[in-house]
Structure 1
Amino acid sequence: MEHTTLPLTHIPNVRADAAVEPGRLGHSTVLASPGVRVVVLTFEAGFTLKKHSAPKILLMQALDGSLRVTAGGQVTDLVPGALLRLDAGLEHEVEALEESRLMLTLIG
């Protein structure tokens, strides 16, 4: 995990420590800096992260695979190249439609 207060941080591969592990949600923090934290979650196909919320603004990006995010009464299929932003405290659920890695950026 990279903890930094430097003016520039380069992480060459956010997926490096994010292997999918059968039967469990993988979690690796790739960057922690004042005001922002970046986490990569790994999901096996069919895994559902039940309804929960985050205390900060949340940006979600699929690094690979396909995920279905239910939040605020809306269902969004998240695939690589897409970006989803959630307000702080918004309850959401994430389902892996296939083996997937999800990058979360928590801001605030």
Structure 2
Amino acid sequence: MTAYTHILDLAKEVEPPADGILSKTIYQDDQIKAVVFGFGQGQVLSEHTAAKPAVLFFVKGEASVGLGDDRQESQPGTWVHMPANLKHSIEAKTPVVMLLVLLK
């Protein structure tokens, strides 16, 4: 039997809080770690870096994303690849659900 993970609706994996940021690891193995985030409207994940490459996929809501010296808008369906050590930040304009995939 082949082991797999199937999630029908990522938007239902975490409910964005009224105030704050929630995270839930939905998958992890030797190659990747997948974490679903829920951001309350107006919440900010301050600028930081990650030692490994990562992918962001916005499932629900709208946010402003800092990527290095740039600022980009996101909406449901937005996909972002970030190389290791890129400065990044997120500001939720509405309640947001986002998938983060860390590449190990």
TM-score by length of 1: 0.86
The offset of 1:7, in angstroms, is 5.1
Whether 1:105 aligns to 2:104 is no
* Residues 38 and 106, structure 1, Cα contact 8 Å, conserved in 2: yes
Moved more, 67-76 or 13-22: 13-22
Matches for 1:1-108 after TM superposition, within 5 Å? 8-108=4-104
SS in 1 for 2:11: coil
Structure 1 spans left out of the alignment, 5+ residues: 1-5
CA distance in 1: counterparts of 2:84 and 2:49, whole angstroms: 8
Taking only aligned residues, the RMSD between alpha carbons, in angstroms, comes to: 1.5
The offset of 1:80, in angstroms, is 1.3
The offset of 1:62, in angstroms, is 0.8
Structure 2 spans left out of the alignment, 5+ residues: none
* Residues 61 and 78, structure 1, Cα contact 8 Å, conserved in 2: no
SS in 2 for 1:77: strand
Identity across the alignment (%): 23
